[in-house]
Amino acid sequence: MTVLLLSGLIFLLAGLIQGLTGFGGGLVAIPLLCLLMDIKSAVPLSILCGLAITTAMAYQLRHCLDRRRILPMLIGSLPGVVAGTLLLKAADPVMISRLLGLLLLIISAVNLTIRPRPLNPPVIWGYIAGFFSGAITASVGAGGPPVIIYTTLTDWKKDEIKAALTGFFVLNGYITAAVHAGSGMITSETLTAFATTVPFVLCGTYMGSRISDRINRRTYLQLVYVLLMALGVMMLAR
C-alpha cells in the first residue's frame, strides 16, 4: 500500500508537469518509480498513466487539435521506429543517448539566453521531426525532443503547441500500449497499480492545465526548454 501511495504522489507530480507543458510526465515518473519498483513494472505503469494524462489533455485541448499539424509528425514516426530498432542493434545506445543529451543542452541554453523569432519551418520538417522522434524512442526511449523543438520553432499559440504535442503523444501512446499489452508486459498487477494511481494523475493534470492557463507564451517556452535541459542532463548522466 505504501508503494502504491508513493506511486500516486509521483504521478501527481508527473501529471502536473505534463499538464503545464504538454510533455515531461515520463521524464519525472520513471526515474522516481525505479526507486520503488523494477523498471519492467515502472515502464508499463508509466505508459498507462501517460495515456490517462494525454487523453485528458486531448479532451481539454480538443478545440485546438489540428490533424494537419499532427499527422506529419505521426506518419514520420512510423519508419523512424523501424530505423531506431535497427540502430539499437547496430550502435551503442549509451553513446546515442549522450549525444542527444549534449544536443538538448546546447539547444536549450541557446533558447533560454536569446529570444529567437519563430522560424515557421515548412511541413516537411514535421515529417523529419516525427522520424527522429520515432527513431530515438525506439533506440533510447526518449523520443520527445525532436517534435517538441519543431513545434516551438513555429508561431503557433501556446495551446496550439500543447495540442499538437498532446495529439502526437496520445496516438503514439496507444500504439505503444497495444504493443506492450500484446507482449504481456501489462499484467494484472500493472492494471491494479494503474487503477490506484490514475486519480492522482488526473488531479495533477488538471492542476498543471490551470497553471498553464495563467502564463504567457514566452514563459511557457522557457518552461519547455528548462525541462528539455533537465532531460539532456539525465541522458548524459545515465
Nearest to 77 by CA among 131, 127, 128, 125: 131
CB 71 within 8 A of CB 190: no
CA distance 211 to 151: 21
Is the pLDDT assigned to residue 72 strictly greater than 90? Answer: yes
CB 86 within 8 A of CB 216: no
Is the pLDDT assigned to residue 101 strictly greater than 90? Answer: no
Nearest to 198 by CA among 11, 44, 5, 26: 11
pLDDT at 203: 94
pLDDT at 103: 78
Other CB atoms within a 10 A radius of the CB of residue 35 amount to 9
Residue 218 makes CB contacts below 8 A (sequence gap 6+) with 115
CA distance 36 to 33: 5
Per residue in 83-94, pLDDT (tens digit) is 876 776 666 767
Which amino acid does the sequence have at 126? G
Is the pLDDT assigned to residue 184 strictly greater than 60? Answer: yes
- As given in the structure block, the three cell numbers for residue 4 are 502504491
pLDDT at 93: 63
CA distances 9 to 61, 187, 196, Å, are 25, 22, 11
Name the band, by pLDDT with cuts 50, 70 and 90, for residue 227.
confident
Which amino acid does the sequence have at 48? L
Per residue in 102-140, pLDDT (tens digit) is 877 887 887 788 776 777 889 999 999 999 888 877 665
Alpha helices, DSSP H, located in 183-216: 188-212
